[in-house]
Structure formats: structure tokens, C-alpha cells
Amino acid sequence: MPTKMTVDTFTALKSERKIVCLTAYSAPMASILDSHCDLLLVGDSVAMVLYGMDSTQGADIPMMIRHAQAVMRGTKQALVVVDLPAGSYETSPEQALTTATQIMQESGADAIKLEGGASLKPHIKLLVENGIPVMGHIGLLPQKASSASMYRITGKTADEAALLHADMIALVNVGVFGIVMEGIIEPVAKDIAVACSVPTIGIGASTACDGQILVTDDMVGLFDKFIPTFVRQFGQLNPAITESVSAYRAAVIDGSFPGNEHLFWPKSEK
């Protein structure tokens, strides 16, 4: 039986090797990714990737629970982390605790992730005190951008760099077990990653990060509405699926599918 990744074994990877992370929203995809990934993120990017929304802000608690449950069914060894959706935790630490508790209890996930820096110290502190493992997320915060055009790389000025460093320190001090660093200019991201005592996971950040994460549908060339600069397509599923569907259409129209071998026959006619 494969060994299940825990928060402790995940954090221990910081001193061992690079950490491999991807998003997952369904049981079949989670099953495919599970043996290759240390962490699977049930990201609020599901709102864009699967539901066709313009931003991640359309994700809600029932959506995240539903997809987290699916991913848990397909996972045996990766650590499963779930995004708290926009609007479900920012108001108060108590709101964050209520949301995180509901998602953890109803999905069985291993941890949650939320977006933001030092302003969320009280929220994260309360979650950790109640036994909920928390992953942080600093830099570019998709939940704050209403459209792709509003995504902006951070850390370009001395003030932004200082704020990012302060955010990292604040999150570590209140007990996050890891931090996603998104869309941070390379020299600044490198400095933060090197200084951080918990694993840093980059997405459009530095190679100095302890690991990397991408949206799986971007990485395999399935979601092509837009391709962020930080994405490398390791596959081309979109044209492969298009070719398959085109062949299926042709076979249905010309009558070559279904064939006799795809039908059910009385035993006497076999």
C-alpha cells in the first residue's frame, strides 16, 4: 500500500528534494496524478477551468466541498489541500474557522489554503489553534482579481518587496506549514524562498522555491482560453481530444460506429 503524505512528511521534503504539486478537481484526474504528486490542490481555479467563469471568485463553499470529496475518492497518497473560496473567510477569524471546519469535515481533506498576508494572521492563528493545517498564499492573489486582465506581477518595487517579505514572516510565525508564492518577480521571490523556513511552492515565482504547482488543465494543454506566461505545456490534450471527437462524429455519420462488436446479441446469434 502506498504511504499517505502527511503535513509532517510534506514539510520534511524541504530538505530532501523539490516538491511536486498540481491541481485536481475530479476523482479520475486525482487517481492519475496521485502517484506522481506530493500535493494535490483542489483549487478555486475550478470555477474557471470546469465552470467557464471569468475568475476564481465564482467558487463557493458547496462547490469546493463537492470537488474535494471527488478528489479524496481518487487519492491514496498525495496530500490534499482545498482552497477556501473568496468571501468565505476574510470577514473574521471566526468566519474562517467555520468555513474551514465545514470543508475539512465534509470532504475529509488534509488541509486548507487561503490567500493573503499579514492581515490574515488572526484568522490563521485561530485555525491552527483548532488543529486545522493551513497553507498560505502570497504575491498575486487571484481572488482579488475580477478578470485575467487584472492579474499583476508583484514585487517590482522596494515597497512591494518589503511587504511580501513581511507577509511571509507573518504567515510562518502563525503556523502555516507551507506557502504558495504566485506571480512574484524573480529576484524578490528568490530572496523570500531562501529566507522562508517552511516549504515554498512557486507558480510564476522562483526556481529557488522548494516546489512548483500548475493548474493541471493548463499543464496538459486542455484549458486554452488563455495561457499564463508561467505555464509550460507538457502535453497537448486539446487537439488530441478534438481529433478523437472528430473521428467519432465521422464514424456515427457514416454508420461505421457502432459495429456488431459493440452491440448486445441473443446467445443463439453469437
Per residue in 174-197, pLDDT (tens digit) is 999 999 999 999 999 999 999 999
Q: 7-235 maps to which CATH number?
A: 3.20.20.60
pLDDT of amino acid 231: 74
pLDDT tens, residue by residue, 208-217: 999 999 999 9
246 assigned binding-site residue: no
Over residues 52-56, the mean pLDDT reads 91
Rounded to two decimals, what is the model's pTM?
0.92
Asked whether residue 229 carries a pLDDT value surpassing 90, the answer given is no
44 assigned binding-site residue: yes
pLDDT of amino acid 211: 97
- The single residue of 182, 186, 261, 269 carrying the catalytic annotation is 182
The ranges assigned to domains in the chain are 7-235, 237-270
How does residue 1 score in pLDDT terms, banded at 50, 70 and 90? low
Asked whether residue 2 carries a pLDDT value surpassing 90, the answer given is no
pLDDT tens, residue by residue, 65-117: 999 999 999 999 999 999 999 999 999 999 999 999 999 999 999 999 999 99
45 assigned binding-site residue: yes
What's the burial of 183, exposed, middle or buried (CB within 10 Å: 0-12/13-18/19+)?
A: buried
pLDDT of amino acid 227: 72
pLDDT of amino acid 256: 96
Asked whether residue 269 carries a pLDDT value surpassing 70, the answer given is no
Give the separation between CA 182 and CA 201, rounded to whole angstroms. Answer: 8
Please, are residues 178 and 198 in contact by the beta-carbon 8 Å criterion?
A: yes
54 assigned binding-site residue: no
Please, are residues 185 and 164 in contact by the beta-carbon 8 Å criterion?
A: no
pLDDT of amino acid 102: 98
160 is catalytic: no
